Amino acid sequence: MTPPESDVDVLIIGAGPAGLMLATWLSRLNIRTRIVDKRSTKIMAGQADGFQCRTLEILDSFGIDRVWKESNHMLEVCFWNPDENGVIKRTGRVPDTPQGFSRFTECVLHQGRMERFFLDHLKDDGDTVRVERAILPSSLQINEEKVEDAAAYPITIRLQHLTDEEATPDQGKNIPNGLFRSNLTPDDTEDLIRKASGKEGTEEVVRAKYLVGCDGAHSWTRKQLGFQMEGEHTEIIWGVLDIIPITDFPDIRVRSLIHSASSGSLMVIPREKRVVRLYIQLKEVSEGGGAIDRSKVTPEQILKAAQKIIAPYKLEYEHCGWFTAYQIAQRVSDGFDKFERVFLAGDAVHTHSPKAGQGQNVSLQDSYNLGWKIGLVARGQATREILKTYPTERQQIARDLIAFDQKFSKLFSGRPAKDVSDETGISLEEFRKVFHQGAVFAAGLSVDYGPNILVVKEDEGKIGGVRCKPSLAEKLKIGMRLPSHKVVNQSDSLPVELQKLLPSDGRFRLIVFPGNISKPKLYTRYEKLGEYFSSSTGLVSAYTPEDTPRDSVIEILTVHSAKRLDVELQSLPEAFHPLDKARGWDYWKIYADDESYHEGHGRVYENFGIDRDEGCIVIVRPDGYVATVVAVDNTNSLEAYFARFMIKV
């Protein structure tokens, strides 16, 4: 029997955080997308739980605020180390997220909730992309001759439909656990393919324009592409317990890093709903080795190890929601894509220790980087060139992540120094220093994409090139995410976070900082810019189909630095607050860098280092990263930037 055939623009393998984020992007951009997963249910307990500032900003850009609302906000870190008698003592206390990083702070919530929010969001967003469960890919072919033809479907993939029984993993009969997907146990993908293949009616063939493997550390997709994970793994085994602790340890509701004198170390992660997650170094299990079957670690063993570390404090529990065990493996894939047609994201391309709370975040951010690029190409708005920026941008991040994790884990697994003369031990000072240095990275805010077709960091200095002027916004970093500060809506005085004006909807944005437009000279310059944007030969007309709103491809926002009360909205050029007969004037495009009635002054000119008499235009990518900075009157540079990769209508 011939299996049924169909085609789709994008096929996503794997419905974990990376896959769901990608599906969310593509749904938002109305791209024909399918997402399949070999498991019959979503994660019910355990797995990742840490959310960085940047991840929260990204979720917010999709209007997903439930993580921030439901999670436990983890605000403080305490360091515990042995004193001269080998008894653990609190030796330091710092904020978990340093002040001023973001409008969010690090928070913690069970991964299954995040997946639920994505699923709910997909449903609300038209319900066109649904996760298809109990489906497994079994073969992949790429027609190399067609990969450069944007309209082609060069990928052919066979999908096996599993029975519920086949697709339901044993999550643990008594207490749910993560051993079945831990790196201590072998992967079951090949097994599942073998079991399912050959049965009638269980197979289909899909032709796709793009294929994205978000299929985890054991990625089937990665194996088909022939890429290798490069890096190392350590022999130390860590146990993880999600419990409601009964303890007299005083810092159980803050992130506590406990180094015992000789029983190893433990990290406390306070969670939502009274739960606390403990990461526990398993001394007995790792030393010697053979005695215990590593894939059969029990919560009792893990608790026993924790009790030794946390002594003299007591630690018990009546409720355990989940547990697992793992070995730290720090590896990066040697390839992230093939022909810019098949891509890998998330654990499929990087694995590392979970303790820094990075895994889910970097995975989400991989596909956040990729989604809009595939979307714009699939819609015919951008050339395939921009797809090359995915591997270059994200492979570097993965390498940075591994470097960070190696430092972080080593410190953590290491033995604390006995005194200053103890050179092989890790001193408290060293620990705190590395921990603090890691904070920006850990918050996801150090991501700095290098110069490429989408990011212009220097004046190209040539005719027809982008005259990038970083000095016009000297505190703003091109290549990094646009930080948020409050600005005040001109029409109604509402203070709004700048990032709130950058929803993830696939549009590039020009943020015009025209300076103090109550000065005639600056007003005139701004007026002239408005004329350019209104013209039928300008940038907006070049890329915007006639039958769609003027702001549907490139949106123009204004943040002026005049006093709001000195400016009358109706006297400003219509290009900056366009009139649409059915919807009235657009009152949500012009903002003042001014004091608000109830929420202070955002001081965005000052924070970005923009001169109020000079101004600038900042181009922001659809993912919120700063693409470049040009002068207010330099419309040629705007055209030069978009000419690099955009396709005219």
Residues that bind its own copies (CB under 8 A): 72-76, 93, 95, 97, 99, 105, 244-248, 250, 252-254, 270, 274, 318-319, 489, 491-494, 565, 568-570, 579, 581-585, 587, 596-598
Q: How is residue 239 written in tokens?
A: 């146990």
- State in angstroms the smallest separation of the CB of 537 from its own copies: 28
Strand partners, 452: 455
Q: Which is nearer to its own copies, 178 or 270 (CB)?
A: 270
Q: Which is nearer to its own copies, 359 or 495 (CB)?
A: 495
34, 96, 222, 279: the active-site residue: 279
**H/E element, 580:** strand 579-580
Q: Which is nearer to its own copies, 56 or 193 (CB)?
A: 56
CA angle 193, 197, 203 (to 5 degrees): 105
- State in angstroms the smallest separation of the CB of 252 from its own copies: 8
- State in angstroms the smallest separation of the CB of 489 from its own copies: 8
Which amino acid makes up residue 318?
A: E
Query: What gap in Å lies between CA 553 and CA 562, rounded to an integer?
Result: 28
Count how many residues are written for the chain.
649
Contact 371, 22 (CB under 8 A): yes
- State in angstroms the smallest separation of the CB of 48 from its own copies: 21
| Helical axes 359-378 vs 17-28, angle rounded to 10° | 30
270, 354, 470, 495: the active-site residue: 354
Q: Which is nearer to its own copies, 543 or 585 (CB)?
A: 585
9, 49, 96, 215: the active-site residue: 49
- State in angstroms the smallest separation of the CB of 596 from its own copies: 8
Query: What gap in Å lies between CA 595 and CA 486, rounded to an integer?
Result: 9
Q: Which is nearer to its own copies, 74 or 328 (CB)?
A: 74
- State in angstroms the smallest separation of the CB of 76 from its own copies: 4
Q: How is residue 582 written in tokens?
A: 């059915």
Residues 184-207 as b or e (16 or more Cβ within 10 Å = b): beeebbeebbebbeeeeebbebbb
Contact 622, 372 (CB under 8 A): yes
Query: What gap in Å lies between CA 141 and CA 154, rounded to an integer?
Result: 8
Using a 10 angstrom Cβ sphere, with 0-12 exposed, 13-18 middle and 19 or more buried, the burial of residue 66 is middle
3-state secondary structure of 601: strand
Using a 10 angstrom Cβ sphere, with 0-12 exposed, 13-18 middle and 19 or more buried, the burial of residue 568 is exposed
Among 266, 256, 244, CA closest to 316? 244
Q: Which is nearer to its own copies, 279 or 336 (CB)?
A: 279
- State in angstroms the smallest separation of the CB of 274 from its own copies: 6
Q: Which is nearer to its own copies, 562 or 632 (CB)?
A: 562
Query: What gap in Å lies between CA 358 and CA 366, rounded to an integer?
Result: 12
34, 271, 277, 481: the active-site residue: 271
- State in angstroms the smallest separation of the CB of 148 from its own copies: 44
- State in angstroms the smallest separation of the CB of 588 from its own copies: 9
Residue-by-residue DSSP string for 502-518: --SSS-EEEEEEEE-TT
Q: Which is nearer to its own copies, 61 or 72 (CB)?
A: 72
483 is known as an active-site residue: no
Number of CB atoms found within 10 A of residue 519's CB: 15
Contact 304, 239 (CB under 8 A): no
**What is the separation, in whole angstroms, between the first and last Cα of the chain?**
45
- State in angstroms the smallest separation of the CB of 429 from its own copies: 21
Query: What gap in Å lies between CA 187 and CA 451, rounded to an integer?
Result: 39
CA angle 146, 226, 342 (to 5 degrees): 40
279 is known as an active-site residue: yes
271 is known as an active-site residue: yes
Residues 210-236 as b or e (16 or more Cβ within 10 Å = b): bbbbbbbbbbbbbbbbebebebeebeb
Query: What gap in Å lies between CA 104 and CA 491, rounded to an integer?
Result: 27
313 is known as an active-site residue: no
Which positions are catalytic? 49, 271, 279, 354
